Amino acid sequence: MKPILIALLLVSTSLSAQTWKTDLNEALREAGSSGKNVLLFFSVSDACDICRRLDHDVFQSQEFLDYAKDNLVLVKLDFKNQASQDKADQLLIVEKYNKDGFFPWVVIVNANQKVVGKLPMYEDQSIRQYLSQIKAANR
């Protein structure tokens, strides 16, 4: 029984480490304490097919999640669901990191909120291609 419980705890710990946050301030605090950068994913999942494809094909892939677990704090701002954060807070984040209002938009910031990398528009690249762009931007 103990080995099963330990295995379940290990699985739940690894899964929770790969969870997308919706609160940028919480993510920035985690980034500060962990030394990781924050990947911000701006999406409109109910109206943007390419947003859904990027999320499904890349961000839900095990290859991406394995990299992110050790290197990034993940934040998803999905403008379909305004309940994820106060709308005014989301608009301030957009003004700072996505002034042109492109969706999907991916930017990497450090714990001091400085942009360290921007990803090019997703055009159905392979997971490996897009992940290499993320790694290059996460310097």
Q: What is the pLDDT of residues 27-41, one digit of tens each?
A: 999 999 999 999 999
pTM (predicted TM-score): 0.83
Identify whether 7 is part of a domain.
no
Identify whether 13 is part of a domain.
no
pLDDT at 54: 98
Identify whether 124 is part of a domain.
yes
Q: What secondary structure does DSSP assign to 63-130, as a single string?
A: HHHHHHHHHEEEEEEETT-GGGS-HHHHHHHHHHH-TT--SSEEEEE-TTS-EEEEPPPP-S--HHHH
Domain count of the chain? 1
Indicate which CATH number applies to the domain containing 56. Answer: 3.40.30.10
Identify whether 103 is part of a domain.
yes
